[in-house]
Every structure is written in structure tokens, then in C-alpha cells.
Amino acid sequence: MAGSDDDKGLGEERQTGFSAAPPLEAYEAIYRLVLSAYGYRCALTGEQFLPETGLLHPHLVVEAIRPRAAGGPLQINNYIALEEHAAQAFRRGQVLIEDDYSFVVPNPDALDRAVLVRLNSSGRLLVPAEGLFQPSPAHLAFHRLSILGS
């Protein structure tokens, strides 16, 4: 039916709210940039690991502070490098990071002792020297709010 209203897609309205997802290369670039910015160190424990040649690091996780599904941007200041067990604790809210990069363990008894004893003794997150690469206080606040619920 050339020339009819169906030329726009069966006469239905276009769906809105969908945007093209960033290409896989963008995620890979952020992943590598975060690991490099943190010097292949866990931000919570300070443990340092050797760089890996493969796509994924066997011990470090590049963790979104504000998940993409919750509107978090694909920007380096929304990600931190964490050892895999520390990343699980962060995701569960067993470790919360304040705007000044100090961290709090709200319930030490709930945190795996193996993680608890490895947390940085200064009580502060290790962050990249470059300010642009440091975690955004707004994203950290979102994480705390999503965990604490108020």
C-alpha cells in the first residue's frame, strides 16, 4: 500500500523512550580505564593485582556505583575497581562509601570476616589521583540512599 499511512510502520505510533545502547566497545573502554586509573588495586582493600591480557580480570570487578538500570551514566566517575568479594559486599550494602571517601560497615557481623579484615585500615577508599576519575559524590549518595531507603 504505497503512499498510505502504513508507510510509517503499519500505521502505529513509534515507541518512545528507547535509545540505542552504548556499543560494547564503550563498556570495554570504561572497564579498562577504571582498572588502569585504580592501578589494578581494590579501592576498599588496597590489594594490588597484576594486569591481565584477557577481557575480564580474574580478581577485580569494575562495579557501577549507580547501576545503569537505575540511570547511572557510563562515565568513569560512576565506577570503582573492587576485588570480587568486596564488590559483593558493596552491592549488598554491607559497605557504604561516604562523600569524603571514608567507608562505613553498618553491621560488621553481617560482613564476611575474610573481607572485613582486609578492608583498608585507614577507613578510606583508595581513589585515583586524577579528580575526574574519582567517584562522584552524587553517585555515592544514590548508592547509600538505595541501600538505606531514605
Supply 91's cell numbers. Answer: 552491592
Mean pLDDT calculated for residue range 79-97: 97
**pLDDT at residue 8 tops 90:** no
Residue with cell 544514590: 142
Mean pLDDT calculated for residue range 82-100: 97
Report the C-alpha dihedral over residues 109, 103, 38, 131, rounded to 10 degrees.
170
- Give the residue among 62, 58, 55, 57 at the shortest CA–CA distance from 128: 62
CA distances 81 to 61, 119, 126, 143, Å, are: 6, 14, 10, 15
**Coil, helix or strand for 63?**
strand
List of E strands, 31-129: 60-64, 79-83, 96-97, 103-104
**pLDDT at residue 88 tops 80:** yes
| Vertex 33: Cα angle to 27 and 36 (nearest 5) | 140
- The pLDDT tens digits of the residues spanning 30-70 come to 999 999 999 999 999 999 999 988 888 999 999 999 999 99
The whole-number pLDDT of residue 99 equals: 97
**pLDDT at residue 17 tops 90:** no
